[in-house]
Structure 1
Amino acid sequence: MARETILVVDDEIEIINLLEIYLMNEGYTLLKASDGAEALELLNTHHVDLIILDVMMPNMDGIQACMKIREEKQMPIIMLSAKGQEIDKITGLSIGADDYVTKPFSPLEILARVKSQLRRYKYLNTPLTKDENEMIINDLVINITTHKVSIDQREVKLTPREFAILKVLAKNRGIVLSMEQIYEEVWQEPFFEANNTIMVHIRKIREKIEVDPSNPQIIKTVWGIGYIIE
């Protein structure tokens, strides 16, 4: 179970109570504050691994609090804001927030983002030498040598073909690959236009590694072109 401490800063008690249920159920320790000033006081007296920070609050809002926090601390910050306040997202990310979620949100989405940010932060700040045989994409770890795949520290069983497709996409991270490119790289034979093999395999991979396969966050579809891991 997780043991990290999460600081939730929001003036809406209903949101704090909702997040408390989900975060504590995952084993996280929770600290709560109703505005930015109270959050800064807690940071002076407690170790915090990640902050969930609302934008609109009395006394000191989330933008001001984020700026003050970033003067000294580097833990991940996930900002919350009402839907449609695009300027808050731009401002928050530009002053040091690591992620941004609009209200209303799914608690499971928040939980997934918390895990992703904590994993990335630990990985970037670990003093250990990076394993050259591993590719790490947020919570996804692909070991090229052992052919093992894990998501959020949970091992995932992929078939050899599924692993090969995932490896090709991961090695070309940030590049859109067509079904033809993926097929010919993995199968080493010509691709036929009517062949839906790649679509079937991608669907099966998503079912194993995505939190919500119907709304994939790892392997994304670029309609009319192919697939990408951003």
Structure 2
Amino acid sequence: MSTEHPVQAETPSVEPPSTPTRRTFIATTTVVGGVAVAGGLVAGPLTPVAEEAVAAEAPPGSRVSLTVNGVRRTVTVDNRTSLLDLLREHLDLTGSKKGCNAGACGACTVLVDGRRINSCLTLAVRLDGAEVTTIEGLAKGDRLHPLQQAFIDQDAFQCGFCTPGQIVSGVGCIKEGHTGSPEEIREWMSGNLCRCGCYVKIERAVEQAAGRK
């Protein structure tokens, strides 16, 4: 009787599926995404229906003409654009500051047709044909506006962030005739906040520019 043992067939080893690495995942995703984009490009231009859908998603815009600091400016803006954003982002007039962006601090105060407004709350498209004066438009060349000079004389600022709005508001306050007393000035300037607490000196600067000091 043979003593040899039968040779058993070797079972081929099966390697477990490898877990994709982060590098492999990113590479695969990039390739698939590229194919998808390429497929979209190969598919040809958008159909008229698709073009209408894209146009419908775009925010509506309007053409607005304003006289800003004596210069006529015409721009096309999103209908939701505030006057403040028009001045700062489209006309590069960054003197008017974006503080609270809710009409509570007065840092964005400008004059529209001679009246004080919070430019952050005013839609630019509603001011077509209006005349806007910002802090940049007060000085005459190298000669400061009397209230700008008064702010320097009275040391009426510290950090300076609120100062453009304070000065423009003060100019409006003087034009409106609300400078009869310190109390009246404080009342009619109360919409402009100063976090540094320079209210007394601001009031004195308005008095000086109004000819009361």
TM-score (norm 1): 0.27
Structure with higher Rg: it is: 2
TM-score (norm 2): 0.29
Instruction: Kindly indicate which of the two structures has a greater share of residues assigned to strand.
Output: 1
